[in-house]
Amino acid sequence: MPELPEIEVTRRGIAPHVTARRVQAVHVRTPALRWPIPTEMPAALAGRPIRSVSRRGKYLLLESDAGWLILHLGMSGSLRVLQGEDRHLAPGRHDHLDLVFDEAIVRLRDPRRFGAALWHPREAGDVLAHPLLASLGVEPFSDAFSGALLFERTRGRAMAVKQALLAGTIVVGVGNIYASESLYRAGIRPTTAAGRVSRQRYDRLAEVIREVLGEAIEQGGSTLRDFIGSDGASGYFQMAHAVYDRDGQPCRVCLLPIRKIVQGQRSTFYCAQCQR
């Protein structure tokens, strides 16, 4: 699943091609994604310039005068910018939505159709009040995110610290890959009860979450299966994974084999020696 770094890489990739440019047409080929694409969206968006492209958690927000197009890439989605001769490429069976601009087409591809393309009209109020966005935790690069916040919001909680990160109600965007990598760098075992982690260790965890996410963004995200950037290029952060998807391989520090367990139906990777 594309996580925060992959979504931010996508946002940076499409923004120069759509910001301040007018949507000439919207072509919906498969309306039945995770939720049905609103029938009013193509007419509401067509003919209007995109004011900005922002991100909230794993959601992309394309703002126009009429409202916001909310995009989520689901488990296997990607956005591709088609320019020049590529504009004439015929859509494939998994290409469900095109946003047509004067010099580019932004095409949504989603083989598993767990993604979403929703419409939030301006008269409905602030897009951040949308039900999918209103309950999200703080952004990891914001001033509101800190070890103090993690410590305060986990007091008395018996759930594992990794599950607390994945829940997205304290901090957003720290998905399965980056939770495993961050907990490794912080030296925290992923099965530790969130309420038992000290303030000092949460300070370190908040610091490394920013580091890991920032490094992943700079390297184009992680391409494990389906994710590609808007230019068709793969990410490279998977080459730097210390634990994720490395079960049985030696820890880069202590050389003991990396372990794999399942938490909440998700694979977790850690080092039993380096993470206590």
Catalytic residues, which ones? 2-3, 58, 266
CA dist 19 and 62 (Å) reads: 9
Selection from 71, 75, 10, 34 nearest residue 224 by Cα: 75
Name the β-bridge partners of 109. 78, 95
Residue 29: Cβ-neighbour burial (10 angstroms; 0-12, 13-18, 19+): middle
Beta strands 67-72 and 59-64 are antiparallel
CA dist 163 and 191 (Å) reads: 9
Residue found by looking up tokens 């927000």 in the block: 61
Task: Give phi and psi for 142, each to the nearest 5.
Answer: -85, 160
Task: Give phi and psi for 92, each to the nearest 5.
Answer: -90, 180
Q: Which helix (H) or strand (E) holds 212?
A: helix 199-218
